[in-house]
């Protein structure tokens, strides 16, 4: 079998890249280790920057997003018992975010791919990437017990943090930067109306909490937990009681509880691998970088990586130019590091750290106070939250 671009991974990065390439007339095949249902069973963040919405518009996969997505022009920060609204829309000259689950973005992209008859091979096992340093890379895998080879011009490693592509790069050709945080987020999804119509990010003496949503009838809530906690330690009752204790009296009164339909604990990590291009193989999305979820930048970064990549590959096929390919890593990393900085900063500001007590705690309180009372500081938060622009220049 042969294709122009072999894409490893059918998460949002791989699926959006496939859609962008297809639109540019570039043939591609996606190889995914899991089944489609498994991929759709993963619950991830749900805040889309305008840049991401624009990309979904560009590939024509945004009808449901525009119908069901919730447009938000602000967020609330809760600390010292009070909520403070950051009016992102007015602070950024009219920019908003759209609250729409990543799982739904994935579902829409999968459905579009199926409608267009584009090939995605699910349950592709033992995927291995070969000869990406040569002009003739290939990918081998096993499906339904049969060994297969896919010849291609390029390989796109969209296979997430635990994927095979980054792991196949020779040690010494790649530098990894990592920060692991001393806590996790316990998240639940429940069919109850959201406590407030905008997101509430809370920092209390009990730690971080986030009130988010998927729709007017489905809520997504998180609380900070020690890394040693197990999901089994957390009954729904315990979760609701803990969440309530993070909230201000008005939110406490508005909180509607109910049975969870999903409950999981995710550790928080910042990670970047440099560079993101190795000959004819590119890394994109979680394969190259992870942000802690505070600020929900993960999907948005994945989307802009694949925009840069599709742009570079389109330029290559249309103009026989390597310019975009040669700039891919640098272009992506500039945007990635800015989002890494923001996600690290927002995480540091909103969580209780084992060593936050005393001086650290006082500085955190002073920064939150400054943040909500200084237009410049609020604007900086707003500008990063709605997303920095996509930049094709130097
Ligand atoms: N072979 C084939 N597929 C693989 C392999 C492999 N060896 N390893 C991993 N995969 C698949 C995974 O099963 C998964 O479906 O690659 C896909 C990677 O998808 P994601 O982990 O969702 O990563 P990405 O598409 O880059 O999306 C980034 O996901 O984790 C969130 O916050 C992150 O929102 C961001 C988004
Ligand atoms: C979510 O809705 O799951 C969500 C929202 C905002 C975040 C993280 C997660 O910062």
Is residue 159 assigned to a domain?
A: yes
Judge if the beta carbon of residue 302 lies within 6 A of ligand 1. yes
Atom of ligand 2 nearest to the CA of 44: 3
The 8-class DSSP code of residue 224 comes to: E
Is residue 21 assigned to a domain?
A: yes
Place of tokens 């930049």: 391
Q: Whose CA is nearest to atom 7 of ligand 2?
A: 296
What whole-number percentage of the chain has pLDDT above 70? 99
pLDDT digits (tens, 9 = 90+) for 357-366: 778 888 998 9
pLDDT digits (tens, 9 = 90+) for 186-204: 999 999 999 999 999 999 9
In the chain, the number of structural domains is 1
pLDDT digits (tens, 9 = 90+) for 342-351: 999 999 999 9
Question: From ligand 2's centre to the CA of 325, what distance in Å?
Answer: 32
Judge if the beta carbon of residue 295 lies within 6 A of ligand 2. yes
Among 301, 304, 280, 277, residue whose Cα is nearest residue 291: 301
Q: Assess contact for 31 and 7: CB atoms under 8 A.
A: yes
Is residue 132 assigned to a domain?
A: yes
Is residue 95 assigned to a domain?
A: no
Question: From ligand 2's centre to the CA of 278, what distance in Å?
Answer: 32
Domain containing residue 66: CATH number: 3.50.50.60
* pLDDT of amino acid 185: 98
Per the structure, the complete domain to which residue 322 belongs is given by 5-70+101-177+268-351
pLDDT at 338 over 60: yes
Q: Whose CA is nearest to atom 4 of ligand 2?
A: 45
Question: From ligand 1's centre to the CA of 190, what distance in Å?
Answer: 25
The model carries a pTM of 0.97
CA distance 154 to 279: 9
* pLDDT of amino acid 98: 98
pLDDT digits (tens, 9 = 90+) for 214-255: 999 999 999 999 999 999 999 999 999 999 999 999 999 999
Judge if the beta carbon of residue 212 lies within 6 A of ligand 2. yes
Is residue 310 assigned to a domain?
A: yes
Residues with Cβ within 8 Å of 202's Cβ and at least 6 positions away in sequence, in order, are 77, 78, 79, 208, 209, 210, 211, 246, 247, 350
Instruction: Give 125-141 as a DSSP string.
Output: EEEEEE-TTSSS-EEEE
pLDDT digits (tens, 9 = 90+) for 77-120: 999 999 999 999 999 999 999 999 999 999 999 999 999 999 99
Is residue 306 assigned to a domain?
A: yes
pLDDT digits (tens, 9 = 90+) for 153-165: 999 999 999 999 9
Phi, psi of 152 (to 5 degrees): -155, 170
Atom of ligand 1 nearest to the CA of 124: 2
Residue 394's pLDDT band, with cuts at 50, 70 and 90, is: low
pLDDT digits (tens, 9 = 90+) for 300-328: 999 999 999 999 999 999 999 999 999 99
Residues with Cβ within 8 Å of 207's Cβ and at least 6 positions away in sequence, in order, are 183, 223, 224, 225, 246, 351, 352
Q: Show the tokens assigned to 97.
A: 């975010």
Catalytic residues: 72, 201, 293, 297, 385
Is residue 233 assigned to a domain?
A: no
Judge if the beta carbon of residue 14 lies within 6 A of ligand 1. yes
Is residue 9 assigned to a domain?
A: yes
Atom of ligand 1 nearest to the CA of 284: 26
């Amino acid at each position: 079998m042969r294709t122009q671009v072999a894409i490893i991974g059918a998460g949002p990065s791989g699926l959006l890249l496939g859609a962008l390439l297809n639109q540019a007339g570039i043939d591609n095949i996606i190889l995914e280790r899991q089944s489609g249902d498994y991929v759709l069973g993963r619950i991830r963040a749900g805040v889309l920057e305008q840049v991401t919405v624009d990309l979904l518009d560009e590939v024509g996969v945004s009808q449901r997003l525009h119908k069901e997505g919730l447009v938000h022009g602000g967020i609330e920060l809760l600390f010292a018992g009070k909520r403070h609204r950051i009016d992102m829309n007015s602070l950024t000259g009219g920019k908003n975010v759209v609250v729409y689950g990543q799982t739904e973005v994935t579902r829409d992209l999968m459905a579009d791919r199926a409608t267009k008859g584009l090939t995605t091979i699910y349950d592709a096992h033992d995927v291995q990437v070969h000869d990406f340093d040569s002009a003739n890379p290939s990918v081998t895998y096993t499906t339904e017990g049969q060994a297969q080879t896919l010849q291609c011009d390029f390989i796109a490693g969209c296979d997430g943090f635990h994927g095979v592509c980054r792991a196949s790069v020779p040690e010494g050709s790649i530098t990894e930067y990592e920060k692991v945080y001393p806590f996790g987020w316990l998240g639940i999804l429940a069919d109850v109306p959201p406590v407030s119509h905008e997101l509430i990010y809370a920092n209390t003496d009990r730690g971080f909490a986030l009130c988010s949503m998927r729709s007017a009838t489905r809520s997504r809530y998180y609380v900070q937990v020690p890394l040693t906690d197990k999901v089994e330690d957390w009954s729904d009752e315990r979760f609701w009681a803990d969440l309530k204790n993070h909230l201000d009296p008005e939110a406490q009164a508005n909180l509607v509880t109910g049975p969870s339909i999903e409950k999981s604990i995710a550790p928080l990590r910042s990670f970047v691998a440099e560079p993101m291009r190795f000959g004819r193989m590119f890394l994109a999305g979680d394969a190259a970088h992870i942000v802690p979820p505070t600020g929900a930048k993960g999907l948005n970064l994945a989307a802009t990586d694949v925009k840069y990549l599709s742009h570079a590959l389109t330029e290559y096929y249309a103009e026989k130019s390597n310019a975009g390919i040669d700039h891919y890593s640098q272009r992506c990393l500039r945007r990635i590091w800015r989002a890494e900085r923001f996600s690290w900063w927002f995480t540091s500001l909103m969580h209780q750290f084992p060593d936050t007590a005393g001086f650290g705690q006082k500085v955190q309180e002073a920064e939150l106070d400054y943040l909500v009372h200084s237009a410049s500081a609020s604007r900086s938060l707003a500008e990063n939250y709605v997303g920095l622009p996509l930049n094709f220049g130097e």
